[in-house]
Chain A
Amino acid sequence: MKLKSRHLLGLEGLAAEEITLILDTAESFREIIERPIKKVPTLRGVTILNLFYEPSTRTRISFELAEKRLSADTISFSKSMSSVKKGESLKDTVRNIEALKINMIVIRHSSSGAPYLLTRCTDSNIINAGDGRHEHPTQALLDLFTIRRKYKKLKGLRVVLVGDVKHSRVVRSNIWGLKAMGASVALCAPSTLLPYEVDKFGVDVYTNVEEAIDGADVVNIMRIQLERQQAGLFPSQREYTNLFGITKERLKLLNKNFTIMHPGPMNRGIEITSEVADGKSSVILEQVTNGQAIRMAVLYLLSGKKEETE
């Protein structure tokens, strides 16, 4: 089995075997980050550009560390410290940096489709680290990986994604990934935070959180994206918390051996209470550790794909 594309732009269209290959490979890398020497020489001589047009803590550090642990050379770019301030376009920026001979680009951008644009104007392998409202594939892969490590399977599990579905790229990637792997997926959000044509995802949609999480195995809580939100999508944060927040009382509705996930950063006391976030069923920090293994796996698998045409 191998990956079909030399880029990772999203999980939409990825076959179950391809996702399984990434998860299995990540399992091997998960062992490496527990070693005393957390580094292997695999990507020696490969140069990777981290192109972050949007702020990020976890994803950016996770990618940078994954690259370093594979012995790649890395350059990190942030929008605020560069000539983007002088008006240079994404395409020009990337082509200029690529002229310095880089092999792979990890990009985060506020516009959906920016990674795809790069595949058209550069020769590097492109990895999407989150683009607009479109996809955040490595986040969803690490979610799948975390769930699979706990339950030893994905098929048949009930996974509920609660929160700002409309603006969340994590939700979209999770939907494609979970569906491909045979999990049962439900979304839950106030109707103002559901995207137009939400039924086209082919998953269950709820606007009542108790109904949504009743009998679920995994609840993956999405952040209320305060920065992305024009006022008025819900009346107040307190009302959101009352109606949709995941609280200790609501956990009683879940299946035994349930799991609480959150891609971070958390708004404690809004979409999730501290009690739940720090409870023993929360795997939020485990997700962060697993993210590293997933990113190492993706970098490793894609780095082998150079000359191939798609």
Chain B
Amino acid sequence: MPRYKSEIILNQKGMIRAIIRIAHEILERNNGAETLAIVGIFTRGATLAKRIAEKINQIEGVNIPVGFLDINLYRDDVHSKLDQPIIQRTEILFDIVDRNIILVDDVLFTGRTIRSALDALIDFGRPRSIQLAVLVDRGHRELPIRPDYVGKNIPTSKDDKVQVQLEEIDKEDVVIFEKYGLRKEPAKKHGRKKNKTGRGGAK
């Protein structure tokens, strides 16, 4: 059994507040919703994108286009895996040219997912800007990427895990932080490096 301590760092209320704040920040920075479109990265980023769009609709009364992006075809580690990740259907049914795109993901970690997402998005055209919104920023970037809107910053060490669970997928709105690398065991046993690439909710 891996030895870790787990802790809830964002409950449902906290998550709702964070999303409302992000929605306001997005509107403030972009002077309203006219030029906006939201693109969520599968799986949980897509759900969060829908929620942010809903909030913006409640605040401004504008329905902004929402798209979903699967970045697996743009990964930089496709060849190092034995089995290919399952591809979900990318759905961007609006023209992204000249729009301000809000890219949404659940956890920002190494930045590699976002790098893939930028490449994928730009294959659809030339947006005016791409801004990044994440629910959790846990640090440890491996690429020069930074978020524009953050729900919560969590200081972590590389071996820790951050799990975002959303009601639509996991039946519960919660962010759980699992602290690994506690002293009693030698470090090797719980070096769960797989999570670095972070598919799904655990990053």
Are B87 and A300 interface neighbours, CB within 8 A?
Answer: yes
Which residues between 52 and 92 of chain B lie within 8 Å of chain A, taking CB atoms?
70, 73-75, 78-79, 81-84, 86-91
Are A28 and B70 interface neighbours, CB within 8 A?
Answer: yes
Q: How far, in angstroms, from A39 to B89 measured CA to CA in the complex? A: 15
Verify if B32 is at the interface (C-beta below 8 Å from A): no
Q: How far, in angstroms, from A43 to B75 measured CA to CA in the complex? A: 10
Are B89 and A31 interface neighbours, CB within 8 A?
Answer: yes
Are A40 and B73 interface neighbours, CB within 8 A?
Answer: yes
Are A2 and B83 interface neighbours, CB within 8 A?
Answer: yes
A interface: dominant SS: loop
Q: How far, in angstroms, from A161 to B87 measured CA to CA in the complex? A: 32
For residue B90, which residues in chain A have a CB less than 8 angstroms away from its CB? Answer: 28, 31-32
- Which of B70, B74, B83, B89 meets A304, CB within 8 Å? B83
Are B123 and A303 interface neighbours, CB within 8 A?
Answer: no
Interface size on B, residues (CB 8 A): 21
For residue A40, which residues in chain B have a CB less than 8 angstroms away from its CB? Answer: 73-74, 120, 123
B interface: dominant SS: loop
Are A37 and B123 interface neighbours, CB within 8 A?
Answer: yes
Are A42 and B89 interface neighbours, CB within 8 A?
Answer: no
Known: A28-B90, A40-B74, A300-B87. A306 touches B82 (CB 8 A): yes
Q: How far, in angstroms, from A29 to B120 measured CA to CA in the complex? A: 14
* Stretch of A19-27, A135-143, A260-268 at the chain-chain interface: A19-27
Q: How far, in angstroms, from A41 to B120 measured CA to CA in the complex? A: 9
Least CB distance from A298 to B in Å reads 11
For residue B79, which residues in chain A have a CB less than 8 angstroms away from its CB? Answer: 45-46, 303-304, 306
Closest 7 CB pairs of A and B: A304-B84, A28-B87, A40-B73, A42-B73, A2-B83, A37-B123, A28-B89
24 pairs, A vs B, C-beta closer than 8 Å = A2-B83, A3-B83, A28-B70, A28-B88, A28-B89, A29-B87, A31-B89, A32-B73, A35-B124, A37-B123, A41-B73, A41-B119, A42-B73, A42-B75, A42-B78, A300-B84, A300-B87, A301-B84, A303-B84, A304-B82, A305-B82, A306-B82, A307-B82, A308-B82
**Beyond A28-B87, A41-B119, A304-B82, 8 extra complex contacts between A and B, CB < 8 Å:** A1-B86, A25-B86, A35-B124, A40-B120, A40-B123, A43-B78, A300-B84, A308-B82
Residues of B within 8 A of A (CB): 70, 73-75, 78-79, 81-84, 86-91, 119-120, 123-125
